[in-house]
Each structure stands twice: as structure tokens, then as C-alpha cells.
Amino acid sequence: MNHKMTIFLFAFLLSCAGGDIKNNTPESKCFSVSPMDNLAPHIGKCIVMKGVVTDTGYPSIADYWIPVPELEKFRGEKVSLKGTLETRKESSSGSGDQGSTRGVYFIRVISIEPLR
């Protein structure tokens, strides 16, 4: 077999095997969080947030203040957002905190459902 075919088959097998393996395990449980919760223990885990999408500069669920671009078309609506909470380091370039880094929350969206 040539190398291209071998690589293709390997990639195909990985894509088939990696899909939904974790969805049937207890670790895939999503945690419901509220705006007052400490989100740090939920980093890397599935969370569910419910609320009205803000109509400010960037879309987020009110009182959580985590920008979620996928919420753009839901501005002003009440939604349930399911996703994986992640952080990334961002450097700030200001005179007072030059060279410092801080963690910023973001969400890898799994689903968004409008609520009535």
C-alpha cells in the first residue's frame, strides 16, 4: 500500500473511533452553573448556563460575561448554552500591568437552545 492510502485509512479510523466515545460515560455529565458560582473547578468540563443573551458589544449570557460569538443571532433571547469551559492566557500591554498574563474564560459550544 502506498503512504497516502495508509495515512488516509489511519485518519479515517481515528475520526470514526474518536467521535462519541466519552458521551456515554459519567465524565460527560454537564454541570449547571449560575453567575455567582466559582467557575474554576469546571475548567475543562461540560457546563450548562441559562439566561438572556446580552445586547452589548459582544454576545454573552447576562451576568456571566464570557464572550460567546455563537450567541450573536440570539441577542435578547433566553437560551440554554451547553459547552466546555476553557481558559487561555492573554498578555496585556498596558503601562500598569505590562508583561503580566491572565487567564480568560471561553466556551467551546456544544449546543444552544432557545428557551420559552
CATH number at residue 58: 2.40.50.140
Nearest to 47, CA basis, from 61, 63, 31, 35: 31
Q: 6 in a domain, yes or no?
A: no
CA–CA gap between residue 74 and residue 61 (Å, rounded): 10
Res 25 pLDDT > 90: no
pLDDT at position 98: 44
Res 26 pLDDT > 50: no
Q: 54 in a domain, yes or no?
A: yes
Q: 14 in a domain, yes or no?
A: no
pLDDT at position 88: 83
Res 103 pLDDT > 60: yes
Q: What is the pTM of this model?
A: 0.65
Q: Describe the strand order of the beta sheet including 46-52 as a list of residue ranges.
A: 31-32, 46-52, 78-91, 101-114
Query: Pairing mode, if any, of strands 101-114 and 78-91?
Result: antiparallel
Range 20-42 average pLDDT = 74
| The total number of structural domains that make up the chain | 1
Res 96 pLDDT > 50: no
Q: 3 in a domain, yes or no?
A: no
Q: 108 in a domain, yes or no?
A: yes
Q: 11 in a domain, yes or no?
A: no
Q: 4 in a domain, yes or no?
A: no
Q: What percent of the chain has pLDDT over 90?
A: 53
CA–CA gap between residue 74 and residue 55 (Å, rounded): 9
Owning domain of residue 59: 23-92+100-114
Res 38 pLDDT > 50: yes
* Contact (Cβ atoms closer than 8 angstroms) between residue 84 and residue 46: yes
